[in-house]
A and B are shown apart, each in its own frame.
Chain A
Amino acid sequence: MTATDNYSVGFTYAVDIVFCIDATGSMRPVIDAVKDNVRSFHDLLSSAMAEKSKSISQLRVRVIAFRDFADNPDDAIQFTDFFKLPQQREEFETFVSKLRADGGGDEPESALEALAVAIDSKWERGLDRRRHVIVMFTDAAAHPLGDPSVRAEATYPQAVPASIDELFERWGYQSSEEASMENAAKRLLLFAPDTIPWNAIAADWDNTIFLPSRAGDGLEDHEMSEIINAIANSI
C-alpha cells in the first residue's frame, strides 16, 4: 500500500460511550429524561460534533444500569454490549425503554461495580483516533469495593476488582503498566454528588470531568444539552 493509498479513506474517528446509570428509585426523573432523549441522542451528538467541525466515523454506545448489591443482588446490575449508532438505534432504545427506577435501599449504591464493568468494556482499538467516554449518572455515594459477602453473590461481575486502588490502576495514567484504558482516548464524566468517592476520583484520576449533579431533581432539557455538549467537548 502506498502512502497515498493509506490516506484514501481519510482520517477515521471512533467514539465509544458507556452510560452508567443509577437506576434506584430517587433517579426516576433522570431515567425518564434519558428515555425521552434516547431517540434523539445520536442526532443531538452529531449536531454538537458538526458545530465543532468534527465527524465521527463510528459511534457506539453501551448502557450499564445499577442499583445496590447489598439491597438486592438479583437486580443490582444489568448491562448491554455496544450498540452501533445509528444502525442499532432500535435495540438501544428498546433497552433504555425497559429501564425502571426503583429499589436501592440505603443511600450508597453499587456505582463502583458499574464503573468497573464500564472500564472493562470491549473498547474499539482500531481506526485513527479513538475516544472512550464513560458517563456516570448518580445522586448517591458508592459502596466501597471488596465486601466479601457481596462479592460472593452469584450475580456479582467477575471483572470487578477488590479495591478502589486496583480500580484506579485499571483506569490508569500515562506510562501505566496495568491500565485497561487507553490513556489518550479515555474520558470520565461524573454527574455525581460532591461526596466520597466521587470527589476523590475527580482529584486522582486523569481525564476526569466532575460536574456535581443536581440529579434526583430531574434533568431539564437544558441540562441534557449541557450533557451532550460536555460529551462532545471531551471527544
Chain B
Amino acid sequence: MRAGEVINSYHVVTEPTNSGGGMCMWAFAIKNRREYFLKEFLQPKWPAPDSMGSPAGKERRRTNCYEFERRHKEIMHRLADATITPGGGNLVTAVDFFRANTTYYKVTEKIVTASLSSLRALSVHERAVIFRTLVLSLQMLHQQEIVHGDLKPSNVLIQRGVAGLHTAKLIDFDDSYLSGRPPPQDQIVGDSIYGAPEWFGYTKKDSTMPASALTRAADIFALGLLFHHYLTDSLPGRASARYWAPGQAVIAGEQLLIDGRLSPGLTALLKRMTAPQPGDRPSVEEIFGELEADDLLTVRGPTRSGRVRINMGRPASPAPDEELGEERGVEPYEELGEEPGVEPYEELGEEPGERGEGGASPSRVRINIRNKDEGATDDSDR
C-alpha cells in the first residue's frame, strides 16, 4: 500500500504506517468523497497463480486464507447484529472487507473526535456517561459471545455528541475471538500491558490455562485497568518492579495497588474486575449496574499529573511520532448516508436509512473476497 495508490476504489491519501503495532499497515483513504480508515493485513497472503512456492504449499495457504476469511466474517456478522440493537451505535465496525490480488484489507469509517482539555473538566456525571457508553458497547460484544481481545485506550475513541456530552466508541475488532476459542497460542495478539492473567498463562503455554480459559472475563480485566487509567492517568501499582504489566503481577500472586484517591465503591469494583480467577470477575451487566451511582467515579484531590490523559482518537493524518492521548483540534463531523453506485458485494442486514447525528451506525457490511481481477464466483459464504 502506498500513498496515492487506488485499492478497490479507495484512494490512499496518507503515508501508510505500522504505527500502533500489530500485523498491519494502515492509512486514510477516500472513496466517493468520503473518508475511511484502510487497514492492510500483513498475513495471510493469497497465493496468486504466479506467486512463489510449490503447488502443495499454495493449497495449504489457500486453506489458511479461507480460515482467516471465515473467522473475520463470523465476527463481522455477529457485530452487524450487535450494531442494530440500542446502544450498538458505539461499536465502530468494518464497512468493507476484501482481497485485492494477494492482500486482505478492512475498511472502517474515519472517526471524528472531539477536543477535551482534561477529564477533570468534566463533571462526575459526564465521566459516568463515557464509562457507561463504553460498558454498553462491551455489553453488545459480550452478548454476541465476542471477546474484544485488545481493550486499551487507543481502541476507545471519545466523541462529542449533539447534546455536548462525550461518549465512548469501541474500535478494532480484528483480534477479537469467540469466548473460549482464542487463536492458537503463538498467534494470539493483544497489548500485554492490558493482558489478563489468563492471557499471560495461555501465551506461556501454561497447561492450567487452556484456550477455554480465555473468555469475556479477559475483557473485564482490561476494562478495570482502563477505568483506573482514565481516572488517575496510571495503571494500578505493583509491589514488585519486575512486572511491567498488571496481569503478570496478578498471575504471580501479587495484589494490585489501587490508587487511594478513588472512591471505596470503585476501589472494591476494580479489585473484583482484576481478580486473578476469571470466574471471580463481574460481568458487564453487573458493572453497568454499579455505574448507576455517579459518585462512584469521584476522585479525591488532584490527579498525580494534574491532568488525566485519555485517548482522543486517531489523528486526521497519521503521525507516527505523535503520542496517543494528546488533544486534537475539533474536526468537522461527517454525516454518513447512502453510498451511490453500490457494487455487487455481499450485503448483510437491512439497508440503512440516512444516518442522522447521534444515530446508530449502518448495519450494512460489505464483504467481497472475490479478486476483482479474477472475476471468479463469489466465495464469501465459504
- Interface residues of chain A, those whose CB is within 8 Å of chain B, are 3-4, 6-11, 51-55, 128-129, 164-165, 168-169, 173-176, 178, 182-184, 200, 203-209, 212, 225-226, 229-230, 233-235
Task: Tell me, yes or no, whether B187 is within 8 Å of chain A by CB.
Answer: yes
Say if the beta carbon of B42 comes within 8 Å of chain A.
Answer: yes
Which of B76-84, B137-145, B246-254 sits within the interface? B246-254
- Least CB distance, A70 to chain B, in whole angstroms: 23
Which A residues are CB-close (under 8 A) to B70?
Answer: none
Instruction: With both chains docked as a complex, state the minimum distance between the C-beta of A55 and any C-beta of chain B, in angstroms.
Output: 5
Query: Contact at A173–B193, with CB atoms within 8 Å?
Result: no
Please state if A7 and B44 are interface contacts (CB–CB under 8 Å).
no
Cross-chain contact A11 with B43 (CB below 8 angstroms): no
* Cα-based distance from A169 to B320 in the complex (angstroms): 33
Question: Is the pair A9, B242 in contact by a Cβ cutoff of 8 Å?
Answer: yes
A22 CB to closest chain B CB, in angstroms?
Answer: 22
Counting CB contacts under 8 A, is B333 at the interface?
no
B42 touches A203 (CB 8 A): no
Would B52 and A200 count as touching, CB distance under 8 A? Answer: yes
Q: Is the CB of B45 within 8 A of A128?
A: no
CA distance A4 to B23 in the complex (A): 31
Query: Inside 8 A of A209's CB, which chain B residues have their CB?
Result: 18, 25, 42
B332 interface residue (CB < 8 Å to A): no
B57 CB to closest chain A CB (Å) equals: 6
Q: Which residue of A lies closest to B41 (CB)?
A: A206
A212 interface neighbour in B2, B193, B248, B321, Cβ under 8 Å: B2
Kindly state whether residue B102 has any CB partner on chain A within 8 Å. Answer: yes
- CB pair A7–B252 under 8 Å, yes or no, is yes
Asked whether any CB of chain A lies closer than 8 Å to the CB of B181, the reply is no
Evaluate contact between A229 and B60: CB separation under 8 angstroms: no
Distance to closest chain A CB from B211 (angstroms): 16
Q: How far in angstroms is the closest Cβ of chain B from A219?
A: 16
B23 touches A207 (CB 8 A): yes
Contact A168:B52 (CB < 8 A) given known A3-B208, A173-B64, A209-B18: yes
Given contacts A173-B57, A206-B44, A207-B23, 19 further A-B contacts (CB under 8 A): A4-B251, A7-B200, A7-B251, A11-B192, A51-B323, A173-B44, A173-B60, A175-B64, A176-B60, A182-B186, A183-B186, A203-B51, A203-B102, A206-B43, A209-B25, A212-B2, A225-B321, A229-B321, A230-B18
B344 surroundings in chain A (CB, below 8 A) = none
Structural contact, A184 and B187, CB atoms closer than 8 A? yes
A7-B248, A11-B204 known; A203 and B45 CB under 8 Å? yes
Pairwise interchain contact A233-B42, C-beta atoms closer than 8 A: no
Q: Which residue of A lies closest to B247 (CB)?
A: A11
Chain B residues within 8 Å of A176, by CB: 57, 60
Contact between B253 and A10, CB atoms less than 8 A apart? no
Structural contact, B252 and A8, CB atoms closer than 8 A: yes
- CA–CA, A135 to B217, complex, Å? 38
B43 CB to closest chain A CB, in angstroms? 4
User: How far is B57's CA from A176's CA once the two chains are assembled, in angstroms?
Assistant: 7
Whether A233 and B43, one on each chain, are in contact in the complex, defined by CB atoms closer than 8 angstroms, is no
Residues of chain B in range 167-193 having any CB-CB distance to chain A below 8 Å: 186-187, 192-193
B203 in contact (CB, < 8 A): yes
Smallest distance from the beta carbon of B365 to chain A beta carbons, Å? 25
